[in-house]
Amino acid sequence: MAYTEEELKKELETKEYEYGFYTDIESDTLPVGLNEEIIIAISKKKEEPDWMTAWRLEAFKHWKEMEEPDWANVHYKKPDFQAISYYSAPNKKPKYNSLDEVDPELLETFKKLGISVDEQKKLAGVAVDIVMDSVSVATTFKKTLAEKGIIFCSISEAIQEHPELVKKYIGTVVPQRDNFYAALNSAVFSDGSFCYIPKGVRCPMELSTYFRINQAGTGQFERTLVIADEGSYVSYLEGCTAPSRDENQLHAAVVELIALDDAEIKYSTVQNWFPGDKEGKGGVFNFVTKRGLCEKNAKISWTQVETGSAVTWKYPSCVLKGDNSIGEFYSIAVTNNFQQADTGTKMVHLGKNTRSTIISKGISAGKSQNSYRGLVQVNSRAENARNFSQCDSLLMGNECGAHTFPYIEAKNKSAQIEHEATTSKIGEDQIFYCNQRGIDTEKAIALIVNGFSKEVLNKLPMEFAVEAQKLLEISLEGSVG
Amino acid sequence: MLKIKDLHASIDDKEILKGINLEVKAGEVHAIMGPNGSGKSTLSAVIAGKEEFEVTQGSVELDGEDLDEVAPEERAHKGVFLSFQYPVEIPGVSVTNFIKTAINESRKARGMEEMPANEMLKMIREKSELLDIDRKFLSRSLNEGFSGGEKKRNEIFQMAMLEPKLAILDETDSGLDIDALRIVANGVNKLKSKDNAVIVITHYQRLLEYIVPDFVHVLHNGKIVKSGGKELALELEEKGYDWIKNEAVV
Ligand SMILES: Nc1ncnc2c1ncn2[C@@H]1O[C@H](COP(=O)(O)OP(=O)(O)OP(=O)(O)O)[C@@H](O)[C@H]1O
Ligand SMILES: [Mg+2]
C-alpha cells in the first residue's frame, strides 16, 4: 500500500466532491410514477419473457401492501415514490463491438471517473461491466471468461440468454417480499450484473462493476445475482460514484449471492454516492438489500467501504445454511457533515460448525450519525456455531455520533459468540505528534484513519484498496481544523 | 541557531513559562534540568509549536526567523525535532510507514522528490542497526503496546531517520535500562555534528555522562534560574534543587 498514499495526495487537492459533474446524454425516460402499466412497460422495453413480467408484478403487489421501515437510526424525508421515473437508459443502443462506437460523451464521463474502459482493459485481470444509469453499456474481457464457461453480463442479458439460471435463483436469497425496498426493486429493477461460475472453476480475474446515477430524478434499482457453483471461486468488485445533484436520489439495490457446496464468493464494495453538501442538502438515499446463501463448506465474504450517500441503510448478510460454512463481514463506514449511516450485517447460523466473523469500523466526523447494527442468529440445530464480532468507532470532533446495536439470538447452547467494541477519538496529542514529525493535520488524519481501518482495507483487492484509501481521505477532508 | 527571548507562555490563562532566555548555537549540547512541573516539557512543546500553548510575550527564533506564525509541521520541516516524554500511540500505522510518511512530507516541503524505496530501506537498516533495533519491531503499530524503553528508543530511531538540525530530547533516558541508555546515547552522539544542536531534558546526571553537555540550565517555576557547565549537573545530583530554589528566591 506504500506508494499509493502519495499518489492519492496529489489527486486530493480539490475539496469538493470530485465526481460532481453531469453528463448530457439523451435519455429515454419513462413518465414518472409507479403502477402496473409502468412495470409492464419496463419489462417490455427490456424485451423480457412473460415469467419475468409476472414476477415483477407479483413483487409490486407485495410492495403496495408494505410500509417503509423506520426502525433504523436515520432521519430523512421519505421519498415520494410516485414522483420518480423508474426507467432511463442512454439513448443510443448499447451494443458495441468496440470503443469507437461508444458515445464520446459517455467515454468522457468514464474518463472523469478515472475508469475509462480503455484503461480498465489494460489493468491486469479486471473485467469491467459498467452500468451507466440503468443499462449496461460496456462489457469487456467477456471472451476470456467465456472460455472457462463463466457468464458475466448484465442481468437483462442473462434474462434473455440464460433464463433457466435466472429463473432458478432470482429471489431465492432475497424474496420479493423480503422488505419494502427489496420488493420495490423486484418490481422495477432496471439492470445490474449477473455472474455464474461453473463447477470447480476458479475465476481468473476480479470481476468488477461500476455503478453510477446520472439522470435527474431517476431512481436506480440494480439487481445483482452471483452464483458460484460447487467448488468454484469468484471475487467480485463493485464500485459506485455519482454526480452531485440537488434533489435526493433514491438508490435501492438488491444483491443476491449463492455459494453452492465448497464454493467461495468474495464481494467487495466501495460506495461513494453523493453524500450531500456541507449543509446537508442533496445526496443519495441508499437502501440496499444484500444477502448471500452458503451451502455446505461454502464461504462468503462481504467487504465494504462506505463513504457516500446522505442516508445509508445496508446490511450485507450471510445465511449459513450448509454445515461448516463460513460468513465474513468487513466494513468501513465513514460519515461526515450531515450524513447518516445505519449499517451492519446479519449472520444466520443454520448449519452445524458454521463460523462467522464481523469486523466493523465506523468513522464519524462533522454532525454525522454512524450506527452499527448487527444480528448474530444461531438456530437450534446449528451445533458448534461460532461468531466473533468486533465493532470499533472512531470519532472526530464533538458533534458526531457513533452507535452500536448488537443483537444476539442463540437457540443452541453450544454456540460461542464473542463481541468486542471500542470507541476512540482522534486526539490533539496524536495530531500534534504527527505535526511534529512534519506531517500536516489533514495527512495526519488520513494516516490515523487508515491505521484504524487497516484490518478491513487489507481485505480488499489491491486496486480497490487504493480507491478506498482515496475515498476515505476525500470524505474526511476539512473535518478537523 | 535557536534564540529564545523573554518567552512567556500560558495554557487556559495559567502562565507556565515566565520569561525564558536561552541561546543554542550549532554544535552545542544544552541540558535542561529542573524539578517536576517546572515547565521543561512545556518549553519543548512551545519550541515545537504546540498550539494549545499561547505565547503571550517574547519570541522563539530559529536561524534568525521568528517562529511565531510557523505551524508545527513547518518547524519540523525546518529541522526541529522533539523526542516526546510521552510518545503517543497510533494504532494500525507501522513504525516504517510512519517514518516514511514523515520523511517524504519533509522532503516534499523542501521541494525534493520522494525518497526512493531502496534508499529508504538502506537508511532504515543502518539506523536500526545503530540503535540496535530489531527489524520486526518496525512493522509493529507505532508505540502501541511498546514498553517504556521501546518507546524512547523508537523516538531516537525517528530522530536518526529525520536527521534534524535541532533535537530536543525530553526525558529520553527515563524508562531506558542501563544498556539501552548507552546505546541510545551513543546513537545521539554519532548523529551530532558541528551543524546541529541538541537540547537534553533530564533528571539524571547519568545520561550526561554519555551525552556531555556544554551548558546545563536549571528551570524552576517557568524560569531558568541557573546556568553553568557540566559540573552543575553533578552538583545538582549531590545537593538536589532546594539550594537553587532558595537562591532564586533571594
Ligand atoms: N495542558 C495543560 N493544562 C494545564 N496545565 C498544564 C498543561 N500542561 C502542563 N501544565 C502544567 O504546567 C506545569 C509544567 O508542566 P511541564 O510538563 O512542562 O513540567 P516538566 O518540567 O516537564 O515536569 P516533569 O519533570 O514532571 O516532566 C505543570 O504544573 C503542569 O501541570
Ligand atoms: Mg516533562
Contact B171, B85 (CB under 8 A): yes
Report the range of poorest mean pLDDT among A124-128, A154-158, A241-245: A124-128
Partners of A5 on chain B (C-beta within 8 Å) are 101
Which atom belonging to ligand 1 lies closest to the Cα atom of B52?
1
- Position A112 pLDDT exceeds 60: no
Measured N-to-C along each axis, helices A36-45 and A50-64 cross at an angle, to the nearest 10 degrees, of 150
Q: How many CB pairs under 8 A join A and B?
A: 83
Q: Which domains does chain B have, with CATH numbers?
A: 2-87+148-249 (3.40.50.300)
Going A95 to A96 to A101 to A104, the CA torsion angle's sign is: positive
Please judge whether B76 and A6 are an interchain contact, meaning their C-beta atoms are less than 8 angstroms apart: no
Q: Which three cell numbers stand for residue A280?
A: 446537508
Q: Which residue has the higher pLDDT, A345 or A18?
A: A345
The structure's pTM equals 0.81
Partners of A422 on chain B (C-beta within 8 Å) are none
Name which of B72, B74, B69, B30 is nearest B167 in CA terms: B30
Q: Which residue has the higher pLDDT, A64 or A78?
A: A64
- Position A25 pLDDT exceeds 50: no
Q: Which residue has the higher pLDDT, A33 or A410?
A: A410
Nearest protein Cα to ligand 1, atom 2: B11
Q: Any idea which ligand is nearest the CA of B84?
A: 2
Contact A344, A316 (CB under 8 A): no
Q: State mean pLDDT over A340-357.
A: 94
Alpha carbon distance B131, B112 (integer Å): 27
Please judge whether A438 and B109 are an interchain contact, meaning their C-beta atoms are less than 8 angstroms apart: yes
Q: Is A22 on the interface with B (CB under 8 A)?
A: no
> Which pLDDT value is given to residue A7?
44
Partners of B76 on chain A (C-beta within 8 Å) are 435-438
Which atom belonging to ligand 1 lies closest to the Cα atom of B43?
18
Nearest protein Cα to ligand 1, atom 30: B37
Report angle CA A248, A251, A257 to the nearest 5 degrees. Answer: 165
Residue length of chain A: 481
**What percentage of chain A exceeds 90 in pLDDT?**
42
SS3 annotation, chain B: CEEEEEEEEEECCEEEEEEEEEEECCCCEEEEECCCCCCHHHHHHHHHCCCCCEEEEEEEEECCEECCCCCHHHHHHCCEEEECCCCCCEEEEEHHHHHHHHHHHHHHHCCCCCCCHHHHHHHHHHHHHHCCCCHHHHHCEECCCCCHHHHHHHHHHHHHHHCCCEEEEECCCCCCCHHHHHHHHHHHHHHCCCCCEEEEECCCHHHHHHCCCCEEEEEECCEEEEEECCHHHHHHHHHCCHHHHHHHHC
Of A435, A441, A448, the CB nearest to B90: A448
Contact B190, B134 (CB under 8 A): no
Residue B36 alpha carbon to ligand 2 centre in Å: 7
Which atom belonging to ligand 1 lies closest to the Cα atom of B34?
21
Question: What residues have CB less than 8 Å from A118, skipping those under 6 apart?
Answer: A99
> Which pLDDT value is given to residue A99?
55
Residue among B41, B44, B53, B225 whose CB has most ligand 1 atoms within 8 A, to mutate = B41
Of B45, B84, B101, the CB nearest to A5: B101
Alpha carbon distance A41, A61 (integer Å): 16
Please judge whether B88 and A5 are an interchain contact, meaning their C-beta atoms are less than 8 angstroms apart: no
Alpha carbon distance A163, A48 (integer Å): 10
Residues with CB under 6 A from ligand 1: B 11-12, 16, 34, 36-42, 85
Contact A391, A404 (CB under 8 A): yes
**Residue ranges per structural domain of chain A:** 5-474
Average pLDDT, chain B: 93
* Mutation choice for B interface testing from A332, A436, A445, A469 by most B CBs within 10 A: A436
**Per CB distance under 8 Å, which residues of B are interface residues toward A?**
45, 48-52, 71-73, 76-77, 80-82, 84, 87-93, 97-106, 109, 114, 117, 141, 158, 162
Which atom belonging to ligand 1 lies closest to the Cα atom of B203?
25
Burial of B47-68, coded b for 16+ CB within 10 Å and e otherwise, reads: bbbbeebebeebebebeeeebe
Q: Which residue has the higher pLDDT, A370 or A242?
A: A370
Q: What ipTM was assigned to the predicted interfaces of this complex?
A: 0.96
Nearest protein Cα to ligand 1, atom 8: B42
Residue of chain A with shortest Cα separation from B164: A437
Nearest protein Cα to ligand 1, atom 31: B37
Nearest protein Cα to ligand 1, atom 26: B36
Nearest protein Cα to ligand 1, atom 1: B11
Q: Is A481 on the interface with B (CB under 8 A)?
A: no
Residue of chain B with shortest Cα separation from A430: B88
Residue A14 alpha carbon to ligand 1 centre in Å: 40
Residue range B159-196, pLDDT digits in tens: 999 999 999 999 999 889 999 999 999 999 999 999 99
Please judge whether B98 and A427 are an interchain contact, meaning their C-beta atoms are less than 8 angstroms apart: no
Nearest protein Cα to ligand 1, atom 13: B37
Report the range of poorest mean pLDDT among A146-160, A308-322, B166-180, B234-248: B234-248
Average pLDDT, chain A: 80
> Which pLDDT value is given to residue A337?
82
Report the range of poorest mean pLDDT among A133-147, A425-439, B107-121: A133-147
Please judge whether A427 and B88 are an interchain contact, meaning their C-beta atoms are less than 8 angstroms apart: yes
- The alpha-carbon gap from B34 to the nearest alpha carbon of chain A, in Å, equals 24
- Position A209 pLDDT exceeds 70: no
Alpha carbon distance A101, A87 (integer Å): 23
Q: Is A58 on the interface with B (CB under 8 A)?
A: no
Phi first, then psi, for residue A6 (nearest 5°) are -70, -45
Q: In whole angstroms, how far apart are CA B145 and each of A351, B90, B98, B140, B149?
A: 39, 10, 16, 9, 11
Residue of chain A with shortest Cα separation from B161: A437
- Position A120 pLDDT exceeds 70: no
Alpha carbon distance B174, A285 (integer Å): 55
